[in-house]
Structure 1
């Protein structure tokens, strides 16, 4: 594969690489003036993986047909095997889609709802907006066949409270003479960035005969998922480009064999789709791609259309890079969770506020931390200037401080969500606390009104 596979810096087993700015400057592609405190939104990848991706892109341009038709499927299978091993599930259950939202769409658009109109989709209050809108679309498109229902969450709370609220919602649906057909929930929610007890909710779904759709947009590479096969959700999708150091966009889509028959089509429909013969007038559709002998599910997702799937081919090497350079998944996750917790405390101290967590500390068991902002939430809400305040904070962070922090309102409080990552240090969080303090003081003085 040329020079691009020889530039992988192999660490000495006795000397694990030190996380922080030296790693950032030597391995990543950031502008020296920029502090990336928002890894959770778009992720990033190291120089070695960038070179590998470009190598695959160059191969595709050198010989398009041989590469796309024959080489690419082989490389794709290697990446599928690597991610399946990481999740401890069979390779035949894993394919790739561009992002978690695509995986959620694929499931919701394939489910055949019962004709009696009693089906419901349950989701939690912290659902990602894109997924919530997908649920809305499915309800609208299948008007009269399926409804949706939101399960409330009052943070901070114990994991058991979330499961209890889920059970109560299921009971309410059944009392109304309806059924919960599918439940959609996170591994780590987006805003706030909270570790969700997806294992326990999946178990509750099994108990009630409900299909579980786990949105792990924030998941693989950030929290331990080697037990996915034991948890055994009905559907699971997780972005590799967020926390696994894979280029955008790439997400693993896991469907156990028992449910692969439910996924009739990719989104959009690929050459692998086979309609019932009676619906095609007896015509047999021609697949222009080489026969591969793979099952219907895997074959369908192998080639959905002509797009740049180079990120998919980088998954195997990204996992290897994390093992050989960063010291492996366990070390990465432990260090990031520790950094997020300690960093969150530093930001909260600077702001004179608090970190969002529960007594057991399970809410903060991820690489993101949520810190309350010292802003007069009720006054801002009453004035109707919330959108202007948020826009001012984000634009000021980017233009004046060369950084970005997710800022949002949740349950009547303004919050900032910061991400830990191997290229950061606690000093970055201390700095961020000072920056956020200055900006909040400027908001209170009304400077956002002058900028609008």
Structure 2
């Protein structure tokens, strides 16, 4: 495998280790991830092994391999192996937790205006159906500081106190999807503990982007992160962390496993086994997380990888803003890890904002490049992901292509400078 070779310097020399079209300008690793070739090779080898004897694999061989992958992930996030299981993606993990609570009228679910769409809709659904817990949405408008976020969070908590014998659950992003900003989620977990609130951390972008995670020390009540975004695993794969003290809350996997035992009949732990097998799936994305971690170790390890990507995000964002003639959302860098948000030179009064957003997406793809674009706080922005194969020149070239897109979009909708 490639990780046995002498590693090249980060930048374009790394592109040979990824299956990207050489002509495609990819600054959107944050959405779907980008699987390295060595991991793809490991998946192909595992797939061949599975197909050679499906019964042997699915009945016997998969379990120790899955346990090893869980062990490796647990080490990275500072957890015990039997506190982590794999699920298809972060949305599934968040849904699993939220749908396992025994909701009552008078319970409160805190979410944010920046909560990821499917998670926000899940909260809405739970409040729409009996017994109708209460939804409390907290408004975040960036740029804003971590201190501002914490103060806003405290204000909403104190304005929505717990009713007698009722629970409160806060769904908190570790790193928001759009804008791609780091929240002070560790401090928010502390606040939740002080206030008697369950903390559910949607850390979709965290593993592989936040260095030195220690969940035992941070101690959230639930934490979910995609391995296919920044940890170099193949999509789709996410890790769900539930500390032992809360595993009784997760009574059932989604879908329900044949190993499900009614809580009234349980005599011991039943958390991990339900997620080991809850229907036939392709286990290769889960099992080859081990290969993804080994590839990252070969590249130099988490600190070296993220030092490069973070520095590139900061410098690349400034370079992109210069080309576009705009500014970065977070000039001080407090909110920025490996994703940077840069304003697009576009009007804010399109007659149909959804149609304009779709036009932007299609137009930048037609330029054989991509970075996520979105509207936030009365401005259009693009979110760029810095990865080990990127260089400053990629941000500058992206800027030139976005300038063409913005000019075309303005002309399409009848705007003149």
The TM-score with structure 2 as length reference comes to: 0.95
Distance of 1:225 and 1:100 partners within structure 2 = 20
Residue 3 of structure 2 contacts residue 294 of structure 2 at CA under 8 Å; is this kept in 1? no
Distance of 2:129 and 2:284 partners within structure 1 = 34
> 2:310 aligned with 1:337, yes or no?
yes
Distance of 2:193 and 2:163 partners within structure 1 = 21
How far 1:385 sits from its partner (Å)? 2.4
- Structure 1: 4+ residue segments shifted above 6 A: 175-178
Tell me what 1:189 maps to.
176
Give deviations 1:126-182, integer Å, cap 9, x for gaps.
Answer: 1000100111111123343x1111111132222121111111111111288896610
Query: In structure 2, do the counterparts of structure 1 residues 83 and 235 end up closer, same or farther at CA, with 3 Å as the change threshold?
Result: same
**What SS does the corresponding residue of 1:236 show, helix, strand or coil?**
strand
> 2:410 aligned with 1:437, yes or no?
no
> 2:260 aligned with 1:273, yes or no?
yes
Residue 156 of structure 1 contacts residue 358 of structure 1 at CA under 8 Å; is this kept in 2? no
Residue 36 of structure 1 contacts residue 403 of structure 1 at CA under 8 Å; is this kept in 2? yes
Distance of 1:256 and 1:35 partners within structure 2 = 40
Tell me what 1:290 maps to.
none
Give deviations 1:72-108, integer Å, cap 9, x for gaps.
Answer: 0110000000001111211111110000000000000
Matches within 5 A, 1:278-289: none
Tell me what 1:20 maps to.
11
Tell me what 2:369 maps to.
403
How far 1:8 sits from its partner (Å)? 3.3
Residue 347 of structure 1 contacts residue 433 of structure 1 at CA under 8 Å; is this kept in 2? yes
Distance of 1:61 and 1:142 partners within structure 2 = 45
Tell me what 1:303 maps to.
277
Query: In structure 2, do the counterparts of structure 1 residues 178 and 160 end up closer, same or farther at CA, with 3 Å as the change threshold?
Result: farther
Q: Which of 288, 294, 316 is residue 314 of structure 1 equivalent to?
A: 288
Residue 87 of structure 2 contacts residue 240 of structure 2 at CA under 8 Å; is this kept in 1? yes
Give deviations 1:371-423, integer Å, cap 9, x for gaps.
Answer: 0111111x32xxx2222222222111112x10112111001111111110011
The TM-score with structure 1 as length reference comes to: 0.88
Give deviations 1:287-340, integer Å, cap 9, x for gaps.
Answer: xxxxxx99411111101111112110011111111011x100001111111111
How far 1:226 sits from its partner (Å)? 2.1
Q: Which of 83, 102, 105 is residue 112 of structure 1 equivalent to?
A: 102
Residue 17 of structure 1 contacts residue 327 of structure 1 at CA under 8 Å; is this kept in 2? no
Distance of 2:162 and 2:220 partners within structure 1 = 26
Residue 251 of structure 2 contacts residue 263 of structure 2 at CA under 8 Å; is this kept in 1? no
Residue 322 of structure 1 contacts residue 329 of structure 1 at CA under 8 Å; is this kept in 2? yes
Tell me what 1:370 maps to.
341
How far 1:353 sits from its partner (Å)? 0.9
Distance of 2:163 and 2:268 partners within structure 1 = 44
Bigger Rg over Cα? 1
Distance of 1:327 and 1:193 partners within structure 2 = 25
Distance of 1:206 and 1:175 partners within structure 2 = 13
Query: In structure 2, do the counterparts of structure 1 residues 449 and 254 end up closer, same or farther at CA, with 3 Å as the change threshold?
Result: same
> 2:120 aligned with 1:125, yes or no?
no
Q: Which of 414, 417, 424 is residue 383 of structure 2 equivalent to?
A: 417
> 2:210 aligned with 1:216, yes or no?
no
Distance of 1:412 and 1:136 partners within structure 2 = 24
> 2:113 aligned with 1:139, yes or no?
no
Residue 214 of structure 1 contacts residue 233 of structure 1 at CA under 8 Å; is this kept in 2? yes
Q: Which of 11, 31, 35 is residue 21 of structure 2 equivalent to?
A: 31
The number of aligned residues is 415
Distance of 1:8 and 1:339 partners within structure 2 = 24
Query: In structure 2, do the counterparts of structure 1 residues 369 and 294 end up closer, same or farther at CA, with 3 Å as the change threshold?
Result: farther
